[in-house]
Structure 1
Amino acid sequence: MTRDDRSTSRVVAVWCPDWPAVAAAAAADLPATIPIAVVSANRVVACSASARAAGVVRGSVRREAQGRCPELHVAQNDPDRDARLFEPVVAAIDEAAPGVEVLRPGLVVLAARGVVRWFGSEEAAAERLVDEVASVGVECQVGVADELSTAVLAARRAALVPSGAGPEFLAPLPISQLSVESALAAPERADVVDLLRRLGVRTIGAFAALSVSDVASRFGADAVAAHRSARGLPERPPSGRAVPPDLTVAHPCDPPVERVDTAAFIGRMLAELLHTRLGAAGVACTRLLVSARTDNGEELARTWRCAEPLTPEGTADRVRWQLDGWLTGRSADRPTAGVTMLRLEPVEVVNSGALQLGLWGGVGDEDERARRALVRVQGLLGGDAVRVGVLSGGRGPAERITLVPVGEEAVPRSDPDAPWPGRLPPPAPAMVLHVPPPIAVDDDVGEEVTITERGLLSGRPTQLRWGSRSWQVTGWAGPWPVDEYWWDSEVARDIARLQVLLDGGRALLIVHGADGWRVEGVYD
C-alpha cells in the first residue's frame, strides 16, 4: 500500500469517555459531574472522572469503591441502557457524516475520506464532530489514523496521527492498551497482555519488534491479531472471500410494529434465520447492517462492527439496541409510523472456523443449543411466554428470582450481593408456590400457633393441617421475622418464615402474615 492509498483509507474514531457511567447518570437523571460507578458481579466495570479522582478504579469491589468515595452513586451494568441512550449520539454524528459504524455504545468509527472532503481537513472534521456530539449534551474525543485500532487508541488521546506514523504513535504506549478496548479485542486478549507484561514486554513498540513467527508459535491467533495492530496494520488482513449471495434476511411487518419488545422479538427470529444461512455457507459475520423502514418511508440503517464473529444472541442484541433508541424517541428523528420492514445484511464475513463449534455441530455449547430451543418455543407462544430466572436480591425465595424473557438482558431487579437482614438461610426450597395455599399450625394443646410481637412462636408447633389432611411436626427452624416497607402503608408487611419437618420426611417453608399461615415452598 502506497502512502497515497493509505491516506484515502484513513479512519476517524469518535469516543465518548466513560459511556456506561454517563448513560447510568442520564437514566437516573443525575448530573454527570457526580461520582458514578457501574458494577457487574459486584466489581466496578466503569466509573466517572470524579469517581476516579476520589480513588475509585475499575476492577475494585463495590464495597471498597464506596469506602473510598462515600457519596458514590452505584448503578448496575446494563448494555441495553447504554445502547438505548447512545442512539441520539449516533444520529447526531450520522447527520453530519453519514456512514457511521458502531463498535459498541460509546464508540463509533467512519471513513475519513468523505468527512475530510466535506469539511476540508481532518482538524476541521474533528472539530465539527465534537460539536455535533456536544449538541446532544455529551462530551467526546476524536482520533484519526490509518487503521481502525490505531484510530481508536488515538481517540482516547484526542490525537490526529499523521499518515504512515501509526507505528511511531503506538510504540511508547503501554502494552495494556492493546486490551483496553473490548470492541477490538477478544476476551482472551487480557490474558495475553498480562503474560507479555510478565515476560518483560512493557510497551506496544517492544511487542511490535517481535517477529511474526515467534508470536504465532508462542501465542494464539488473537495475539497475532494484536501483533498486527501493534505494527500499525489491520488486525485482519484483507479477505479474498466475497460475501456469499442470498445471506440477507428480511421480514415484512404486517401490521406495522410500534412496540420495542415486538420489534425485538422479530429481530431474534431474523437473527436465528441469518445465522442458519451463515452456517450453511460456512461463514460468520463480523460486520452487520441492520435496516428498519416504516410505513411512511422513514428508514434507519446502522452498521455494527465486532472484533469477534457475531452469534445469534449478539445479533439480536444489536437489533434491539438500535430499534429501542429509535422507536422510543430518544433521537431527534423518531419515526411517525410503525416499522413495516426489518432487514439484516452481512457486510463482512470470515470463515466459520473463527467460531467455536459445539460438540454436535452448530455454534456454541449446550447452553447455546438450549437457548435456541427456547427461542423456537418463544416463536410459538409469544415474546413474554418463555422466561428464565436471574438471581436477584431479597429475603424470601420468590423475591430472589427475577424472571426475564429469553433474549432480554439478564438484569436482576435488585442487587443480590447487598445485605438483606432477615433473609432466609440456605438451603432454598426446591419448589416455590406461585399462590401460597393457606394452612393451620397448632401447638400441643390444640391452640393455633402465631407469631408474637417479639418475633417468636406463641407455642410449640406439633400439627400442621393443609386442607383435609394433617401431619405431625417433627422439627422446625426459625422463625425469621421480616418487617418490610414500614414507611409505606400500601406495601408494608410484617411476616415471619418457618421451616418445618413433617412426619414422613416432607419439609415445607411456611410463612405467617396478617392472613395466617401459608405454604411458600416445598423442599426435596
Structure 2
Amino acid sequence: MNSPVRVAAVWCPDWPVVAAATDANISLHLPIAVLAANRVVACSEVARADGVRRGLRRREAQSLCPELVLLDDDPDRDARAFEPVVAAVEELAPGVEIIRPGLCAFRVRGPARYFGSETDVAERVVDTIAERTGAEVLVGVAEGVFAAGLAARHGGIVPPGETPAFLAPLDLAVVDRPELVSLMRRLGIHTVGAFAALPAQDVLARFGPDGAAAHRLARGLEPRPLVARLPPVDLSASKEIDPPADRVDTVAFVARTLAEEFAERLTSYGLACTRLIIEASTEHGEELSRTWRHDGVLTVADIADRVRWQLDGWLTGRSREDRPTAGVTRVRLAPEDVVEHGGAQLGLWGDTGADDERAHRALTRVQGLLGPEAVVTPVLGGGRDPESRVRYVAWRDAREPSLPLEPPWPGLLPPPAPATVPPNSPPVSVLGENGEPVGVTGRAFLTGLPTTVSLGRGPGRNVVAWAGPWPADERWWSPVQARRRAWMQVVLDGAEPSAFLLALESGTWQLAGIYD
C-alpha cells in the first residue's frame, strides 16, 4: 500500500438536515430531524440540545423535543444539493473525491504550493463555498482521507507526521465498525491509539481483512489512495438564431441541425437520451423550458420533432396573450436522463411497433400544443379510498404511484373498487324507517337502518341492500390534516346504476363512487 499523502477534507455538518431543510424552505434554527425507517439518521444542533440523537425512534425523539420538525431521508436529494459545494471546491483544487454527500476530499499539496500554505487553502475553500452556495463548512488537513475527515470535524490542521498522535486519544467508535468496536470495548480497548498498538498480523489473523483495514486507519494509514472524481461532462447543445426566428419552419430547420449535433455528442460517450429538456429564449428575454420523456431512446428525428412541436405550440398554439412578443434567438437541448446505448430491439417477427409509435406521436403532438398535462394517464397506488389511490401523470412520464401499493392499509375499502369516482362529490341524503337521518356512532355503528337514499336533488330510492360502515381515522396525530370518515355501500332499486359508495364526513353523506 502507498503511504498516505496530505489530504484536505471539506465537511458540511449535518448535511442531510441542511439539504432537507433547504428543499422544504425551513429555517435551520429550528429543531429538525431527518428520518429513515422511522429512526433518526441526522438532526440539527438545536435538536441535539434537547437530547435528540441518531438512532432514536420517532416517538422517542418527539418525546424529547415536542417541537421537532420531521423530514424524510432522501439520499438523492442530498447528493444533488451537495454538487454545487463540490463544484466550488473544484474551482480551487481539481481532483476532488466525494466520500459521501456532505464530505469530500482532495490532495492538498498542489493547492498549498499555489496559495501559499495549507491554512490559506482551507480559508479559501471556506470563503469560496460560502460565497457560491451559502453553505457553512469545516476544513481539516491530515495524512489520509480518514484522518483529514476527523480533523475537519475539529476544524483544524494536523501538522505533517503527527496524524497517529492526533488519532490516538479519539474514541474507537470513529473507525465506524460497530461489531469490532463492541468486541474491543469488552477487551478493554477504548481508544484509537490502543487499537493501533496491537500487532497488525494478529489483528489480520483474528478479525480478517475488514479488521485489518480498520487497524490501518487507526495507525494513520489508508486502505486505498484518494480517487479523484471526473468532473461532469456537459452533454448539452445549444444554437444561436440570428436574425431571431418567429416562424416554426425556420426554427425547425435549426432544430434538425442541433438535434444531429446533440445526438452525435451523446453517441461519442456511448449514451442515448430517454428524457430531454428543451429550452428556448426570445430577443425580449422570454424563456420556455419543457421536459420530454420517451420509453425508448430518442433518435435525431425524435429530438427534432419534439423541438418543432414545442416551438409550434409556443409560437402558434397558445392564446395570443401567452405567445412570445419577439422571435426565438436561442434553442438549447440538455439530457435529463441518459442510458448506455445498446441499439433498438425489434420484435420477434420484425415488428417495429408502428401503430404504438403513431399513437405516441399524436399524443406527444397534443402535449406540444397544449402542454404536458394535457394528456394524462391514471396510476393506481396505495390508499384507503378510491379518490386518493389514483394519481394522474403526464403521458410518458414515470408511472410511479404517490403511495406504495403494499399493505398494511388499515381502513382500506373491501373490493371491488367503484368504476366511477365523481370529480365533485355531491351530497346524499340517507334516511331510516321513520324518515330520520341515518348517521354513524363513535363506535362505528349506524344510528338506524337505511331505507331511502336521495342522490343529489334526485328523488329518493329504496335501499335493497347495504354493507358497512367502515370507519377511517386518518392522520389523527395532525390537527390540521386529521380526517375522520365512514364508508357504506348501498344497492338501490330502479334504473342503472344501482350500486353506490357513500362516505359520511362531518355529519354529511356524499357520493364517493359508482359501481358498474
Partner of 1:173: 170
Residue aligning to 1:234: 222
When residues 155 and 60 of structure 1 are mapped into structure 2, their CA distance, relative to the original with a 3 A threshold, is same
Cα distance in 2 for residues equivalent to 1:16 and 1:114: 23
The separation in 1 between residues aligned to 2:211 and 2:293, in whole angstroms, is 35
The question of 1:40 aligning with 2:61 is answered no
Partner of 1:356: none
What secondary structure is seen at the aligned counterpart in 2 of 1:233?
Answer: coil
The AA in structure 2 aligned to 1:226 is A
- Residues 399 and 127 of structure 1: is their aligned pair in 2 closer, same or farther, counting only changes over 3 Å? same
Query: CA separation of 1:511/1:211 partners in 2, compared to 1, >3 Å: closer, same or farther?
Result: farther
**TM-score (normalizing by structure 1):** 0.56
Q: Cα 1:478–1:106, aligned 2, differ >3 Å: closer, same or farther?
A: same
CA displacement at 1:91 relative to structure 2:
2.4
The amino acid across from 2:487 in the alignment is R
Asked if residue 497 in structure 1 is aligned to residue 497 in structure 2, the reply is no
Distance 1:48 1:449, change over 3 A: same
Shift of 1:260: 11
> Which residue matches 2:157?
160
- Offset at residue 111 of structure 1 (A): 1.5
Q: After superposition, where does 1:378-393 map in structure 2 within 5 Å?
A: none
* 1:200 and 2:188 aligned: yes
1:109-150 CA-to-partner distances (Å, cap 9, x unmatched) read 111122112211111101111111222322111111221112
User: Do structure 1's residue 212 and structure 2's residue 161 form an aligned pair?
Assistant: no
Q: Which of these residues, 92, 102, 106, is aligned with residue 88 of structure 2?
A: 92
Paired position in structure 1 for 2:272? 251
What is the CA distance between 1:17 and its match in structure 2? 0.5
Contact 1:143 1:153 in 2 (8 A): yes
Over 3 Å counting, the alpha-carbon distance change for 1:509 and 1:516 in structure 2 is closer
Structure 1 counterpart of 2:143 = 146
Shift of residue 230 of structure 1?
1.5
Contact residue 47 and residue 56 of structure 1 kept, 8 A:
yes
How far off is 1:19 after superposition?
A: 1.0
Q: How does 1:190-339 map to 2 (within 5 A)?
A: 190-236=178-224, 249-251=270-272, 337-339=332-334
Q: Counterpart in 2 of 1:56?
A: 52
* Whole-angstrom distance in 2 between the partners of 1:60 and 1:32: 20
Question: Aligned with 1:92: secondary structure?
Answer: helix
Q: Does 1:104 align with 2:125?
A: no
Q: Does structure 2 conserve the Cα–Cα contact (< 8 Å) formed by 1:38 and 1:77? A: yes
The match for 2:116 is 120
- 1: CA distance, partners of 2:160 / 2:98: 23
Deviation at 1:155, TM superposition (A): 1.1
Shift of 1:338: 3.1
Using the TM superposition, give the Cα deviation of residue 95 of structure 1 relative to its aligned residue in structure 2, in angstroms: 2.1
Note the alpha carbon deviations across 1:193-235, whole angstroms, 9 max, x for none: 3333334321122222233343334335433322221122222
In 2 relative to 1, CA 256–26 (structure 1 residues): closer, same or farther, beyond 3 Å? Answer: closer
3-state SS of 1:214 partner: helix
Using the TM superposition, give the Cα deviation of residue 38 of structure 1 relative to its aligned residue in structure 2, in angstroms.
1.4
**CA drift at 1:428:** 6.7
Letter in 2 for 1:155: A
| Structure of higher RCO (CA pairs closer than 8 Å, 6+ residues apart) | 1
| Whole-Å separation in 2 of the counterparts to 1:342 and 1:93 | 25
Please tell me the residue identity of whatever aligns with 1:122: E
The aligned amino acid for 1:163 is P
Alignment partner for residue 25 of structure 1, among 10, 21, 24?
21
Q: Deviations over 1:158-208 (max 9, x none)?
A: 2212233222221211111111xxxxxxxxx33333333334321122222
Letter in 1 for 2:157: L
Q: Specify whether residues 404 and 199 from structure 1 end up closer, same or farther in structure 2 by C-alpha distance, changes over 3 A only.
A: farther
Q: What is the CA RMSD across the aligned residues, in angstroms?
A: 5.7
Over 3 Å counting, the alpha-carbon distance change for 1:122 and 1:402 in structure 2 is farther
Amino acid at match of 2:271: A
| Residue equivalent to 1:291 | none
Asked if the contact 2:278/2:331 (under 8 Å) is kept, the reply is: no
User: Are the equivalent residues in 2 in contact too, given 1:253–1:339 (CA < 8 A)?
Assistant: no
Per the alignment, do residues 342 and 202 of structure 1 end up closer, same or farther by CA in structure 2, a change over 3 Å counting? Answer: same
Give me the whole-angstrom Cα distance separating, in 2, the residues matched to 1:407 and 1:234: 45
Query: Which residue does 1:451 correspond to in 2?
Result: 439
Structure 1 residues 174, 20: closer, same or farther in 2, change over 3 A?
same
Q: TM-score, normalised by structure 2?
A: 0.56
C-alpha contact (below 8 Å) 2:430/2:450 kept by paired residues: yes
CA distance in 1, matches of 2:475, 2:145: 56
Do 2:106 and 2:226's aligned partners in 1 also have CA atoms closer than 8 Å?
no
3-state SS of 1:193 partner: helix
CA deviation digits over 1:370-418, x for unaligned, max 9?
xxxxxxxxxxx99x999896x7xx765875899999999x99779x9xx
Between the aligned residues of both structures, percent identity stands at 42
2: distance between equivalents of 1:145 and 1:481?
56
* Runs of 5+ unmatched residues, structure 2: 228-267, 280-287, 298-329, 341-359, 365-375, 454-461, 492-499
- Bigger radius of gyration among the two: 2
Tell me how far 1:23 sits from its aligned partner. Answer: 2.0
Distance 2:401 2:100 in 1: 19
Query: For 1:448 and 1:52, how far apart are their aligned partners in 2?
Result: 57
| Distance change (3 Å), C-alpha of 1:191 and 1:342 | same
Q: Distance in 1 between matches of 2:158 and 2:38?
A: 38
